Every structure is written in structure tokens, then in C-alpha cells.
Amino acid sequence: MVFKRLNHRILILDTTLREGEQTPNVTFTIEEKLQIARKLDEIGVNMIEAGDPNVSRDVKEAIRIIAKEGLKAEILAHCRALIPDVENAASCDVDRVAIFLGTSKTHLKHKLRRDEENAIELVTKAIEHAREQGLSVRFTAEDASRTDYRFLTRICKAAEDAGADRISIPDTVGIMTPDKVRELFQNLSKELRVELDTHCHNDLGMATANTLAALEGGATAAHVTINGLGERSGIAPLSEIAVALKVIYDVDTVKLEELPALSLMVERFSGVVPAPNTPIIGENAFTHKAGIHVAGVLADPSTYEGFPPELIGRQREIVIDKYTGFHAVKSRLERLGVYLNDDQMAKIVQEIKERPTITKFRDADLIELAEKITGRNLQAEIPTKVEALIRVKCESNIYTTAIARRLKALKKINKVYEVTGNYDIEVTVIADSTAELNEMLERIREIEGVEATETQLVLKKFEV
């Protein structure tokens, strides 16, 4: 169901490689950045902000490599409104330079120690110099949401006159509301000739709502990161913006079915695991539990789903525990090839409710209950899990705890221990198949600082 219409094109700018790497405790290798850029291009992102070359040599090298990759997406380098910074960005052979300057009184007084006229002069000269280098320019009015509106329009018009063809209006500290954002962009769209970008931080949990409001107000480009990475609480996540644009506005942007794989890639590279209840990509995003909900979903998924999981290449899941009703248990058992009468089903449901501390009944648990109720040995095909103990040896110059944290972030890893002996870390893995276990081993071996691994399969486990 489409709730609103947007009457202009919408572009997606992903800044995982710049804003995303500013996430505390996150850094990407050059190869990881290249893999992310390729995947972003593959799914159809319009612009990729590859980083600020003035940060370090490796950031500059990554930008240069990505710019030479021949991607369809426009590649941007981020830099301050300083001539040397612009020249450094131009040397990376990018398509566009994103020149930024703080415009609020707070930034001008306490960070830049400049007045408004001097700020306009800095921006104008930097943009003119970039245009002389043959670069397209986006000007970013940093802290725009706290900037006096009259000065904001003055400096944006100066940037426009100097040659910028895009202007970004960021909510740098994440304090705006959707109504205020929409109004701001509506007003700026009337004042300026150039196209506007929106860059919303998530400090109050409103980055996605504010981004959509900005697009409704006239912005034509949404800044996002994979998994919502970024300074402090991050910015609007790519998955939320792309899916919301499709579901609410019927606007196609990227290949939605590729979002889970992209999320997992960045989760692996960054070590930052999205919370289970994260929209779209979280483990629980399409998981149903309460009996009334499950009964509705089994009858018609749209009763408790605003959009189907298949839209992004996922499947819905149903958790069995004390909240579960008759229909969910019946559906799960029949999927396993076990058909019982209503009285038997009711007894199984009652058995489940009498075990309130069990948070999730596995298929094997349900079969065991069914056998207890029926007094028969049921021949059910239960998907088998593969459990393994993996010992990890770290390189001598590597901080073991740093490796342990990266391991903890990987999905399917159940527990992580730092241990004594010939190996430094031991992890327990529960995989759906041997193929998945092998994939997990490859991920572990890819972690920088891992020297060797040893794997032991768990044949039998005894609960004490």
C-alpha cells in the first residue's frame, strides 16, 4: 500500500566508507572498503562517499583505488573548505568533492574562530578552486539544523554562485523533528536553484523519519550508511531508507533482496552487530511469537506484517514458547511431517506453557513432547545442527581481546573464551550445516591477527 507520492527522483548516497568508519572502534582495510564499494555499486547506489583523503595515507589510497575501479556510482571525496584539502581530494581522481564547513554560531565561534563573512569567503574560494580542477562540487553546511536561517541561505547561495551543484543540509547532532525538517527543506528548495541532500544523525532515534521528511520537503538525495554506522549513534540506515521508500512511496532505489548480505558483510568487517530488533535486517525483524499474532500470520501474513520478508530476500520465523498458541505448534509439527489430533495438540501446547523458563523450543523438543503425548516413536525429519569447538591462535603482536571482540560479533558463534595453553581463544559454533561451519571457519581465518585454528566437532552434549 502506497501512502504518499514523491514527485521527484530520489538518489541514494552511501557514506559507510566515510561516516561509517567514524563509528567508535571501527576501521576498514583498503580491501574491505573496495569490497563494500563494489557491492554498493552492484545493488544500485547512486553515489559513494569514499572518505576524506586528508585523514591518512591509507584512506587516500582507498579513495584512489575505488575511483579507478570504473564503478557506475559517482565517487566522492570529503574535505574541509581549505585549498590544500581540495587539491588533495582532486588528486584522487574522484567525480565529486564534498566541501564542508561548520555554519552554526557554535561552530563558527568555538571550532573555527571565524565570523560569517570570513566563512563565506572560505567556502567560495574552496568551491571555485575545485571547479577549476574540473570537479563537481557538493557543499555541506555542517550543523545546518542549528544555523541561523538567514545566514544558512546566504552561505548556500554563495556556494551555489561559486559553482556547487548540490548542497547538503545535515542535522549534525540529531536534534530535529520530521515537521521541522520538512519545513526547512521546503523553504530552502524555494530559495536555492541546486539540488539538496539530507544527512540525518540518529541521536534521538529519528534519523530515518527525518530523512524521509526531508525528501518530502524537496531533498533529492538521502545520505545513509550500511547498518546505520556513524559518529555517536550513527545516521539513517540504508536498509530502512530503501525499504521505506519502496513500501511508503513506491520509489525504487536499490536491489532490496541484496540488503541482508550487504549488512552481514559490513557486520563482519566492522565488528558491530545490529540488535536483534533492528528493523529490516535484525534477527527478529520477521519473527512472530504471541499466539494471536501467529494465528493471524498463518492465516494471512499481512495481518501482522506491513510488507513481506521476501521483499528483501528473507523468510518469516515463528518462535515456540509459552506465548505460543495451538496454530503455531500445529503448523511447526506438520512441517516436520507429524500430524496429531486436536486433543493431542492441546496437550502439547499445555506442556509448553508449563515450562515458562524455556525461551525457545527447538524442533527436537517438539518431537520429544509429541512422542510423550502419543506414546509413539515418531519418524520426523529434523534439520540437524552442527556444533563445534574452534580454538584460535593469535599472532604474537596482536591484542587477544581485540580478536575475541571480532569473533563475538560473528553470527552463529555462541560463546567466546580467552584461554591458556597453545591456543589463545576458544569459541563454540552452532551451524545449520557442515557447509555453514566451513564458511564460519573461513570468516574466522580472515580476521587480521588470526594465525591458526583447530576444530573439534561436538558428538554429544550432557546438560548438568
Show Cβ contacts of residue 150 under 8 Å, excluding neighbours closer than 6 positions. Answer: none
Single-letter amino acid, residue 61: E
Return the residue matching grid coordinates 560463546: 415
48 contacts 41 by C-beta, under 8 angstroms: yes
- Mark out the alpha helices in 283-362 (DSSP H runs): 291-299, 326-335, 342-353
Hey, CA dihedral for 127, 131, 133, 134, is it positive or negative?
Answer: positive
For helices 57-67 and 30-43, angle between their N-to-C axes, nearest 10 degrees = 30
Question: What are the DSSP calls for 98-152, one per residue?
Answer: EEEEE-SHHIIIIII---HHHHHHHHHHHHHHHHHTT-EEEEEEETGGGS-HHHH
Cα dist. 170→111, 142, 354, 377, 424 in Å? Answer: 17, 6, 53, 64, 45
Residues in the chain: 464
Nearest in space to 200 (alpha carbons), one of 166, 226, 177, 167 = 177
State the residue for C-alpha cell 552463529.
412
Task: Examine the residue annotation and report whether 293 is marked as an active-site residue of this protein.
Answer: yes
Strand partners, 77: 97
101, burial (CB in 10 Å: exposed 0-12, middle 13-18, buried 19+): buried
Q: Which of 78, 129, 288, 293 is catalytic?
A: 293
Catalytic residues: 293
